[in-house]
Structure 1
Amino acid sequence: MDTNQEQATLWNGIAGRAWVDKKDVLDHLFQPVTALLLEEVCACAPTDVLDIGCGTGAATLALSQRLRGHGHVTGIDISATMIATANTHADADADASFICADAQTHAFTPASYDVLMSRFGVMFFEDPVSAFRNLRTAATAQAKLRLAAWRSPAENPFMTMAEQAAAPFLPPAPARAASAPGQFGFADGQRVQTILEQSGWQHIEIRAIDLLLTMPEQHLQDYFTRMGQLGRVLDQLDESTRQQIITAVRAAFAPFVHGDEVRFTAACWLIRADAASAT
């Protein structure tokens, strides 16, 4: 199997299409994460930023607006589906551009970026040490790394509620290794520390943050029927099973529903590192 082929297939297929279709909902949902990350990046006074795993480009384009006239933002993602959407939403005069490529192996121009950032886009590498070593070649000598990644599934019950509630109606799913590429691939902070150390990053800081995320209740069913593991199998089921699952999952989300709004805490890591030791 080619490097990251499983992820390329996923994000150029059903997962990528779901993110494109639900772009507005997801951009709203993750706005607090985007805002935190942009504050971190802007504090570095960057001129050239790389947004790793940029998806449909929400963080890339938001940062380009913040830096307009003072810096350029390049988004990179393995999904042609999402990169096409990102390009569609970019203003003609936006200080942003997009690359459809695998950041683990892409031949970046050396020392091109003074900040490398990611909002939930770095947990999917087949070989994360190789990926972050490659990304370091793209960094200037004094570059900063600023990342947001999910902590553990146990700390993020909203993110696993759908598949748990649907499990009684589905065949047993194979257990996935905690370190496997995926949403929770960076759940272990010590593993993240080791990955960055082994790939040559310095002054690593991994801080737990909790952010309140919200979405309109009217989007909840559409969200859980399209996103994540459940979204990848639901359309393959007969209508009776589908409806049983939807009813059970919607009931399971009741603790997160407050009137016309869904609210939950996102348990994340805020990860900071430098490309080189301070001189």
Structure 2
Amino acid sequence: MSLANHEQEEFWTNNAGPTWVAYEGPLDAFLAPVLDGVIARAGLQTGQSVLDIGCGTGGSAVQAGHAVGPDGTVLAVDISATMVARARERTAPMPWTNVALSDAADSPFEAAHFDHVISRFGVMFFADTQAAFENICRAMKPGATLSLATWGQIPANPWFTLPAQIAKAELGAPPKSDSDAPGPFALRDLAKTCAMLDRAGFTDIDGAAQNMQLTLPGGAAEIAALSMHVGPAAGTIKHFDADLPAQARIQATMTDAFAQFDGHTIPAEINFFTARKS
């Protein structure tokens, strides 16, 4: 595993992983439309075999497991030991669903084994995305389908941009990150991502950006509260070790900012990719 993926493994196990487990319920609810989009495009059927990449705390593995049933199989993989442990708890009632601590970029998957590969926000963190797609393609049966979701263009995703701007205004600028490095927006470019899939051996490739609405029952206040723990504001707060009054100001400003949408939703641009192994 490369240094970059060691860094991702460390981040998702010891930093982001515990947070995603703690806020599993709100995150699953907030991102449910994206997972539904991935599953709908995959066309999973009873008795089939599925590889779930970057399964996180297991919501996608559970949904795939229900779709293929006990006559099928699901292998869900993630590099975060913290989230894998939680995903195993959630999938325990489904013995046909296995969760493995593994990096899909170089895992020695059985060749030509899977009928479908799915991923919700799990493929943007590879150190070498091209090599990862090639490894995934090798694991798929001829004619097997791929269904992925990634974040789209940065300005079209205010769940990231608004908290980042507000935390920066309050605390100062954190170290600048490279949007093309492994991270949420690494696959925001539709054409570039489709070209990598083509080189990896896929055919019938389609990439499309879809405007979606992400919701939480508590509206702007709940979205702001979640953003205090997940995303760029949370990173800035941690970097500057912000005190409680500063955190309260950030959260209040975010609540006001998110309320400009309609109080219960926030727009997002999601890239959906589908392809078939030739």
Q: How does the TM-score come out when normalised to structure 2?
A: 0.91
Gap change, CA 1:46 and 1:131, over 3 Å in 2: farther
Q: Decide which moves more: 11-20 or 167-176.
A: 167-176
* One-letter code aligned to 2:269: A
Instruction: For residues 135-176 of structure 1, give each alpha carbon's deviation from its aligned partner in whole angstroms, at most 9, with x where no partner exists.
Output: 112111221111111111111123321111111123323443
For 1:87 and 1:226, locate their aligned partners in 2 and report how far apart those are by CA, in whole Å.
23
Indicate the SS of the match to 1:31. helix
Structure 2 residue 223 is matched with structure 1 residue 220: yes
* One-letter code aligned to 2:121: F
Q: Decide which moves more: 119-128 or 34-43.
A: 34-43
1:66-215 mapped onto 2 (5 Å cutoff):
66-215=67-216
Quote the sequence identity (%). Answer: 30
Q: Is the 8 A contact 1:76 1:103 kept in 2?
A: yes
Of residues 231, 241, 245, the one that matches 1:240 is 245
Residue matched to 1:269: 271
* One-letter code aligned to 1:220: I
Unaligned runs of 5+ in 1: none
Report the alpha carbon displacement of residue 200 of structure 1 after superposing the two structures with TM: 2.1
For 2:4 and 2:145, locate their aligned partners in 1 and report how far apart those are by CA, in whole Å.
26
Indicate the SS of the match to 2:228. helix
* One-letter code aligned to 2:277: A
Unaligned runs of 5+ in 2: none
Q: Is the 8 A contact 2:24 2:57 kept in 1?
A: yes
Report the alpha carbon displacement of residue 68 of structure 1 after superposing the two structures with TM: 1.0
For 2:180 and 2:40, locate their aligned partners in 1 and report how far apart those are by CA, in whole Å.
29
Instruction: For residues 227-268 of structure 1, give each alpha carbon's deviation from its aligned partner in whole angstroms, at most 9, with x where no partner exists.
Output: 01222342422233323322322222221353xxx2022211
The number of aligned residues is: 273
Structure 2 residue 64 is matched with structure 1 residue 59: no
* One-letter code aligned to 1:246: Q
Structure 2 residue 255 is matched with structure 1 residue 250: yes
Q: Is the 8 A contact 2:65 2:74 kept in 1?
A: yes
For 1:78 and 1:224, locate their aligned partners in 2 and report how far apart those are by CA, in whole Å.
23
Residue matched to 2:3: 2
Q: Is the 8 A contact 1:204 1:273 kept in 2?
A: yes
* Coordinate RMSD, CA, aligned: 1.9
For 1:14 and 1:207, locate their aligned partners in 2 and report how far apart those are by CA, in whole Å.
31
Of residues 216, 230, 233, the one that matches 2:233 is 230
